[in-house]
Structure 1
Amino acid sequence: MDLTELDIIDAHIHQWDPRTTPRQFSKLATLLRYLPLPVDIAAKLAPRGDREFVGDPSAYLGPYLPADYRADLGKTRVDAIAHIEVEWTGWKPDETRWVASLPFGVDTPALAAIIASADPAAADFDAVLDAHQSASPLLRGIRTMVAHHPDPAVKSFAPNDSALTAPAFLNGFAQLAQRDLSFDAWVYSVQLPDVTALAERFPEVPIVLDHLGTPAGIFGPVGKHTGHTPAQRQALFERWRDDLTDLAAQPAVVAKVSGLMMPVLGHPVPPRGAPTPVPELVERVRPLLAHALAVFGPDRLIWGSNFPVDKPITSITGAVETVATALTEAGADQGTLRKVFGGNATRVYRVDTAS
């Protein structure tokens, strides 16, 4: 395994500045900027679901911009990135315009694709898509915050579990095919059957499953009753495995091997600045990656760092090494790694390699 030979596209990063842009966490970030309250103490005042989701709130309380991502890259060479929407609370196309204005491609990787925020159920969905496409020619698709967990103590991002099956959502979804746009589906693993049903109904729309379906609690306890015992974690894995197999039968679906170090999966959060050793992470994620490779194959897996969300658990270099090692142990050769770490993203997000 020679990682230096990989032309890496990071297909899942976030950028934000909670001090100047409208985010879900902007008000809290502004408040803590002026209150003399240590971050760790402030974190204890947050709801349990928020604490367990973010692990370490530091990255959410200040800007995370191209220079911060460049610093987090360390010695890892990334050629291009795809930016994924993240909790913009104002007029959604403004986030696309803001992202497109960031100084990527100077001494940072090039911005190759934008996945914007839009809700097919919204009455103004077509106008939102028009505005996104006007804001940047790099628009490749949308993501809608639909992740909802049945455990009330696990952080949900949608008010209920029916977002993907609502008639208004389904009526609007067809517009993506008309505009040659994809849909990034970020769900918790209990919602995987809904993604399968969506793919069956709209086989003409490319669907990208973010973070392998985020099986919250699969590595340890989160919430009130998720992943608290080995038996619960085994049952969670088995249901995830079977539901992912069903989803992989839909040929227009690809899966991101990203977000596997999200704290909400149940990872123990190490001390700040001390990433979890790669061998420990490989041991945890190997069963997930082995199954994903078996059912999606080498042509339908895409890597993304999910930075800075995964930063409390690992570094970008650690994430690359973990995924590459686990896939290699599952039988991936160098050609497969080239596809997972770049080639497949180039195809799915229509990255212009000439620029």
Structure 2
Amino acid sequence: MDLAGISVVDAHIHQWDPLGTPREFSAAAKLLRYLPLPADFAARLTPRRDREFIADPTAYLHPYLPADYRSDAGEVPVEALVHIEVEWAGRAPAAKADETRWVASLPFGVDTPALGAMIGGGDPSRLGFADLVDAHRSASPLVRGIRTMVAHHPDPGVRSFAEDPGVLTSSAFLNGFGVLADRELLFEAWVYSHQLPEVTALAQRFPEVTIVLNHLGTPAGIFGPVGRTTGADPAARHELFGRWREDLAALAAQPNVLAKVSGLAMPILGHLVPVRGNPTPVAALLERVAPLLHHAFDVFGAQRLIWGSNFPIDKPITSIANSAQVVVDVLADRGGSALELDQVFRTNAQRAYAIDAELLA
């Protein structure tokens, strides 16, 4: 089983230029542009929680643009991409729409994969959320939904992206979330695994909104210790895996939820970090992630799973080719069909993000 003959959609990629656009990591990128400090040395000066999350700072210090993705994709037959918002740092109420406008201006589809859809950044709990959503849609007709950075971890040694826990269940968030239902837009949920019940509650409250779970819920520390105590030993990791299994199954029971088999090489999962430029071999990566993938296939089925590379975030651990191959191998091990392979790597994303079929001819 392989991807030959499939026009692949990579449903989770990021593009950025920290030197020319406002990102949360722009200050560090600009500083190191002028200071003669090796990136690895500079990384040692940052908080441990940041080092554990990114593993290798190289990608964050330079632009990552369509040609960079094309180079990383190599022989994987990616024809279309879904861009996901990433840490745009403008302060104006509608500033995050500027990211959408910027991404739409990039040279996709020339000698690079086409841009099939975009997910903009925004927070339903903020005043002016409806205006921001409309600004995203005005910036590009490819906008299909919104992602809010709600990942929050109880271990203070694990990097959080929301100031407070429980964002998805707050009254302010729920009151604003109806904007997505009104405009028939989807919501991308990126959370840590202990927050999965909050995603389930959100899906139950808004059954008319399609929710796409990012990265199978990012069970931080599932492969090794991170933070102060997370995944500290095999017993803790076994407990973490058991809770993740139960919570993912409960979420999968909601018919309006899809899940991305993406981000499984995020460093925060506790991966061993290989030497730069030497991605983790498929066999080693497969040994770690296969139990997660098998369970995801069990509870969601191939009909509600979508592949994404999460590049360049996953680049310190894997390659795009290896990321795709482990999913192919797990599906083959399960006796999966060519139809199911096509669903995970193309059809499900094409349907969820309303990607123009002509891009995948």
Q: TM-score range with shorter-chain normalisation?
A: over 0.9
Deviations 1:4-63 (A, max 9, x none): 122210000000000010000000000011111111110111111100000101000000
Deviations 1:244-301 (A, max 9, x none): 0000000000000000000000000000001110001111111101000010011100
Percent identical pairs in the alignment equals 65
Q: Secondary structure at the match of 1:46?
A: coil
Name the aligned partner's letter for residue 32 of structure 1: L
- Counterpart position of 2:56: 56
Q: Secondary structure at the match of 2:119?
A: strand
CA–CA separation in structure 2 for the residues paired with 1:331 and 1:239:
27
1:163 aligns with 2:167: yes
- Counterpart position of 2:99: 95
1:45 aligns with 2:45: yes
CA–CA separation in structure 1 for the residues paired with 2:9 and 2:148:
23
8 Å Cα contact 1:269-1:312 kept in structure 2: yes
8 Å Cα contact 2:12-2:82 kept in structure 1: yes
- Counterpart position of 2:289: 285
- Counterpart position of 1:18: 18
1:62-211 equivalences under 5 Å are 62-90=62-90, 91-211=95-215
Q: CA deviation at 1:161?
A: 1.1
Equivalent pairs, count: 355
Q: Secondary structure at the match of 1:112?
A: strand
Deviations 1:208-246 (A, max 9, x none): 000000000001111010111110110000000000000
CA–CA separation in structure 2 for the residues paired with 1:37 and 1:321:
36
Q: Secondary structure at the match of 1:271?
A: coil
CA–CA separation in structure 2 for the residues paired with 1:320 and 1:251:
25
8 Å Cα contact 2:2-2:328 kept in structure 1: no
Q: CA deviation at 1:3?
A: 1.8
What are structure 1's unaligned runs of at least 5 residues? none
1:299 aligns with 2:322: no
CA–CA separation in structure 2 for the residues paired with 1:177 and 1:331:
37
Q: CA deviation at 1:314?
A: 0.8
Name the aligned partner's letter for residue 269 of structure 1: V
What are structure 2's unaligned runs of at least 5 residues? none
Deviations 1:62-85 (A, max 9, x none): 000001001101111101000000
8 Å Cα contact 1:289-1:330 kept in structure 2: no
1:316 aligns with 2:323: no
CA–CA separation in structure 1 for the residues paired with 2:17 and 2:346:
28
Name the aligned partner's letter for residue 40 of structure 1: D
8 Å Cα contact 2:265-2:271 kept in structure 1: yes
Extract structure 1 runs of 4+ deviating beyond 6 A.
none
- Counterpart position of 1:32: 32
8 Å Cα contact 1:286-1:327 kept in structure 2: no
CA–CA separation in structure 2 for the residues paired with 1:270 and 1:228:
20
- The TM-score, its normalising length taken from structure 2, stands at 0.97
